[in-house]
């Protein structure tokens, strides 16, 4: 079995306007580096659209309708908040980004691949049940996790989020859901100003583990947070599937926050998650792109992430 890359050209058509950090250049940089010979044998597939049933597991009907409301194809951009916008191509991109995670779950559950990486945008982990925010329209990782539970009958699904920002949307959506696990490292006192260690999940719902990191934290602190807190908790949970919110904006070159991580840290993190997937869930792991806004650093981190997945 191999690693499957899922993407779609529609994700390039989500136009966020000039100078927006979450631009199509992010995905272009990733696809360019994946032309390297290391990735010649990477299986590739197109992301389908998420279905209404898949979206409704995580979002209200009103939110879905709001995101899918057409925007004129004349270059218009509609602001949902000061950071989050939609354009004529955004609805299709958002449907494909959410659909990618569900398709990846289907593929790993059918054993047609060992693991999968979804190179999609817009990202998802800030989108709450009824609110788009933080560049995110639909909560892609939460949708994938709930699809794994409801469509495939899994009883324990874990989401691990190493984006530099806390995945408030993923946490909110999974909070009261039985059989769910959400863990995050993120920069303390950064957008969206959630994710304290006191947030541990709803009664009878998800297991939540948050480890905020101080600005300026680098490799030793990041790795210690996983080795000492998150990975032991993940092993105790014994997931049947791991979903990764793969945000690479903790890299030292990234302009959006102030952690000091390097490519090697993301490679290390991926190896740890692959090892637990092998130990607990027959290698089943689905990774979805979240943040990462320095395009050179982002492409290098994704390449390292994928090399580990392919060799795992």
Could you tell me the residue ranges of all domains in the chain? 3-311
Interhelix angle 263-280/295-311, nearest 10 degrees: 30
CB atoms within 10 A of CB 274: 20
> What would the mean pLDDT of 298-307 be, rounded to a whole number?
98
The conformation of residue 21, written as its DSSP 8-state character, comes to S
Above 70 in pLDDT, residue 275? yes
> What would the mean pLDDT of 195-204 be, rounded to a whole number?
94
Above 60 in pLDDT, residue 254? yes
The conformation of residue 254, written as its DSSP 8-state character, comes to -
Above 60 in pLDDT, residue 312? no
Helix (H, G, I), strand (E, B) or coil at 90: helix
> What would the mean pLDDT of 138-160 be, rounded to a whole number?
98
> What would the mean pLDDT of 261-275 be, rounded to a whole number?
98
| Percentage above 70 pLDDT, the chain | 100
218, 142 contact by CB (below 8 A): no
State residue 311's pLDDT score: 93
State residue 202's pLDDT score: 86
State residue 129's pLDDT score: 98
Active-site residue, selected from the candidate residues 126, 165, 186, 251:
126
Closest CA to 154 of 109, 112, 118: 109
Interatomic CA distance for residues 225 and 265, integer angstroms: 12
Cross-strand bridge partners of residue 150 = none
State residue 75's pLDDT score: 86
93, 1 contact by CB (below 8 A): no
Query: Which one of 3.40.50.880, 2.60.120.10, 3.40.800.20, 3.90.550.10 gives the CATH number of domain 3-311?
Result: 3.40.800.20
284, 111 contact by CB (below 8 A): no
Cross-strand bridge partners of residue 111 = none
**Which run of H or of E encompasses 279?**
helix 263-280
Above 90 in pLDDT, residue 166? yes
pLDDT tens sequence across 70-102: 998 888 999 999 999 999 999 999 999 999 999
126, 165 contact by CB (below 8 A): yes
State residue 1's pLDDT score: 72
In what side-by-side order are the strands of the sheet with 115-118? 43-46, 3-7, 115-118, 285-289, 241-246, 157-161, 180-187, 207-213
Q: Is the dihedral of CA 35, 286, 231, 137 positive or negative?
A: positive
126 annotated active-site: yes
Show the tokens assigned to 213.
């990191």
> What would the mean pLDDT of 36-48 be, rounded to a whole number?
96
210, 166 contact by CB (below 8 A): yes
Above 90 in pLDDT, residue 178? yes
Averaged pLDDT score across all residues of the chain = 97
State residue 9's pLDDT score: 98
The conformation of residue 211, written as its DSSP 8-state character, comes to E
> What would the mean pLDDT of 186-197 be, rounded to a whole number?
98
């Amino acid at each position: 079995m191999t690693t499957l890359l899922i993407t779609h050209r529609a994700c390039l058509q989500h136009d966020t306007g000039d100078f927006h950090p979450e631009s199509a250049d992010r995905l272009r940089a990733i696809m360019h580096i994946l032309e390297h010979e290391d990735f010649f044998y990477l299986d590739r597939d197109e992301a389908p659209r998420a279905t209404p049933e898949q979206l409704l597991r995580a979002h209200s009907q009103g939110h879905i309708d709001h995101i899918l409301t057409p925007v004129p194809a004349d270059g218009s951009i509609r602001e949902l908040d000061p950071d989050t916008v939609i354009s004529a191509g955004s609805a299709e991109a958002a449907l494909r980004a959410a659909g990618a995670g569900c398709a990846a779950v289907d593929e790993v559950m059918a054993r047609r691949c060992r693991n999968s990486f979804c190179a999609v945008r817009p990202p998802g982990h800030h989108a709450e049940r009824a609110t788009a925010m933080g560049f995110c329209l639909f909560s892609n990782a939460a949708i994938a996790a709930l699809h794994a539970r409801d469509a495939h009958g899994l009883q324990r699904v874990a989401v691990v989020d190493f984006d530099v920002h806390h995945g408030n949307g993923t946490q909110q959506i999974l909070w009261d859901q039985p059989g769910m696990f959400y863990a995050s490292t993120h920069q303390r006192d950064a957008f969206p100003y959630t994710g304290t260690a006191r947030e541990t999940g709803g009664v009878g719902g998800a297991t939540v583990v948050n480890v905020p990191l101080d600005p300026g934290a680098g490799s030793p602190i990041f790795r210690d947070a996983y080795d000492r807190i998150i990975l032991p908790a993940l092993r105790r949970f014994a997931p049947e599937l791991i979903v990764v919110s793969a945000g690479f904006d903790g890299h030292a070159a990234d302009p959006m926050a102030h952690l000091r991580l390097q490519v090697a840290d993301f490679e290390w993190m991926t190896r740890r998650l692959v090892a637990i997937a092998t130990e607990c869930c027959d290698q089943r792991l689905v990774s979805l792109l979240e943040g990462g806004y320095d395009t050179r650093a982002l492409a290098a981190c994704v390449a390292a992430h994928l090399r580990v997945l392919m060799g795992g």
